[in-house]
């Protein structure tokens, strides 16, 4: 019955469908055949494509980016920026410890090029926001003689959608002589990055979470005083910060997706998604009063709902929804099909639940889509109740 319906994709935080504008830009870029480092006319055409995308993406930062290094995605950008070894001009600069939110994505938590012992996890509250008092204490106790403190925070959690108080974080880190790396992967293109106050020093971006292609991302610096030592060397591309021929097709799609996302944000289209998400959560609570919605007491991304249905395993629910044609996730998709407990639930002290389901919506989520999701969950709840009664 439901098998004949079109599939319903509600896993935007794992990968957002390609925006038509990105598709068109990639089609055009596929026809440009040269290496952007070649000095002939053909090469310069490829180069101008890269330059144009850089300008489009810079608009996420109000044109204030001082450096934008294209990478193969957010994970490479994280490995690039999370390093003890930096340079200021030609002088070496050293960060001795990395302080990273315990709810961060694994690509931040792994600490990049920091030694395991130099990575300090900063606890989060039960709501998923970083504990600012503990962070302040950690930074106060930081041994500045060994090097500066580097702090890495997700602007918004990929699982819960919970947003960190960036302005307070940036002010605190700045006051303590640290540098703030913001994982803006889930926030960029959904909510504006407010640069009227300090909001961070380095930003990690991924194209495919905002409607661009997979395989392209960037590290953006708001100051060009200091830069991390390159991760990938052996070529002069990206002003020497990242060697390797540029992914011109991916870069073109990234720029076009950002441009389209900026228009959606200017038109405040995500407000409709918040309405759908909130209606979903309200009706879910009516269907199942004991449902736990993680992070719902604090500010979240407009499109994300991360919830546990007591007595129902998240993996089981995910498969049941998939059979009903609905794609959601049971935690992060980052680990190649590996199903394991969510570290985010754990650090939010919610490990007593049997995992959680993540619904992450796109701008096109309709009343009918939410109804279909609710109906599928209702059937699941009914089956579970019957099974327990038997």
Which residues are designated catalytic?
Answer: 334
Burial of 30-49, coded b for 16+ CB within 10 Å and e otherwise, reads eebeeebeeeeeebebbbeb
Q: Interaction with its own copies in 38-67: which residues (CB under 8 A)? A: 38-43, 46-47
Number of residues that bind its own copies (CB under 8 A): 78
Interface with its own copies by CB under 8 A: which range of 206-214, 295-303, 344-352, 371-379? 206-214
**Overall size of the chain counted in residues:** 390
**Distance between CA atoms of 276 and 365, rounded to whole angstroms?**
7
Q: Which of residues 210-229 bind its own copies (CB under 8 A)?
A: 213-216
Q: Which ranges in 141-176 belong to alpha helices (H)?
A: 166-175
How many Å from the N-terminal Cα to the C-terminal Cα in the chain?
26
**Residue choice 274, 320, 327, 374 for contact with its own copies (CB under 8 A):** 327
One residue of 248, 273, 303, 308 binding its own copies per CB under 8 A: 248
Inter-residue contact 164 to 154 (CB < 8 Å):
yes
State the Cα–Cα distance between residues 299 and 277, nearest whole angstrom.
13
Q: How far is the CB of 176 from its own copies (least distance, A)?
A: 25
Q: Are residues 324 and 351 in contact, defined by beta-carbon separation less than 8 angstroms? A: no
The residues in 77-96 that bind its own copies, with binding defined as CB under 8 A, are: 78-79
Please answer whether residues 198 and 192 qualify as being in contact, where contact means their C-beta atoms are separated by less than 8 angstroms. no
Q: Per-residue string for binding with its own copies, 281-320, x by CB under 8 A? A: -------------------------------------x--
Do 149 and 139 contact (CB within 8 A), yes or no?
yes
CB of 167 to its own copies, least distance (A): 27
Of the pair 27, 297, the CB lying nearest its own copies is at 27
One symbol per residue from 103 to 122: x for binding its own copies (CB under 8 A), - otherwise; what is it? --xxxxxx-x----------
- Among 238, 296, 354, 369, interactor with its own copies by CB under 8 A: 238
Residue 130, helix vs strand vs coil? strand
Site membership for its own copies, residue 2 (CB under 8 A)? no
Q: Which is nearer to its own copies, 41 or 386 (CB)?
A: 41
Pairing outcome for strands 226-228 and 85-88 = antiparallel
33 is an interface residue for its own copies by CB under 8 A: yes
- Smaller CB separation from its own copies, 125 or 254: 254
């Amino acid at each position: 019955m439901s098998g004949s319906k079109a599939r319903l994709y509600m896993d935007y935080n794992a990968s957002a469908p390609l925006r038509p504008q990105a598709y068109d830009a990639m089609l055009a870029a596929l026809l440009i055949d040269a290496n952007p480092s070649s000095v002939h006319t053909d090469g310069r055409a490829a180069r101008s494509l890269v330059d144009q995308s850089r300008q489009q993406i810079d608009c996420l930062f109000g044109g204030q980016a001082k450096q934008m290094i294209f990478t193969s995605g957010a994970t490479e950008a994280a490995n690039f920026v999370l390093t003890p070894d930096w340079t200021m001009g030609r002088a070496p600069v050293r960060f001795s410890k990395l302080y990273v939110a315990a709810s961060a994505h694994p690509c931040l938590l792994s600490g990049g090029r920091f030694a395991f012992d130099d990575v300090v996890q900063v606890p989060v509250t039960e709501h998923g926001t970083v504990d600012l008092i503990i962070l302040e204490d950690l930074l106060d106790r930081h041994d500045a003689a060994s090097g500066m403190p580097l702090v890495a925070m997700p602007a918004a959690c990929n699982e819960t959608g919970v947003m960190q108080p960036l302005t307070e974080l940036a002010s605190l880190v700045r006051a303590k002589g640290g540098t703030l790396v913001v994982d803006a992967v889930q926030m960029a293109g959904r909510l504006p990055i407010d640069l009227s106050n300090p909001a961070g020093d380095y930003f990690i971006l991924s194209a495919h979470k905002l409607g661009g292609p997979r395989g392209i991302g960037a590290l953006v610096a708001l100051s060009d005083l200091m830069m991390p030592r390159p991760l990938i060397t052996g070529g002069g591309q990206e002003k020497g910060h990242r060697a390797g021929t540029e992914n011109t097709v991916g870069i073109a799609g990234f720029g076009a997706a950002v441009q389209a996302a900026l228009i959606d944000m200017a038109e405040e289209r995500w407000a409709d998604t918040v309405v759908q998400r909130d209606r979903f959560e309200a009706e879910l609570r009516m269907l199942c009063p004991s449902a736990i919605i993680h992070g719902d007491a604090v500010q979240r991304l407009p499109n994300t709902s991360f919830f546990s249905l007591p007595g129902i395993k998240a993996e089981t629910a995910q498969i049941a929804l998939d059979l009903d044609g609905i794609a959601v996730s049971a935690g992060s998709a980052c680990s190649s099909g590996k199903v394991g407990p969510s570290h985010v639930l754990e650090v939010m002290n919610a490990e007593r639940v049997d995992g959680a389901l993540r619904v992450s919506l796109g701008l096109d989520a309709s009343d009918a889509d939410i109804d279909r999701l609710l109906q599928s969950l209702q059937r699941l709840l009914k089956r579970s109740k019957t099974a327990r009664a038997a």
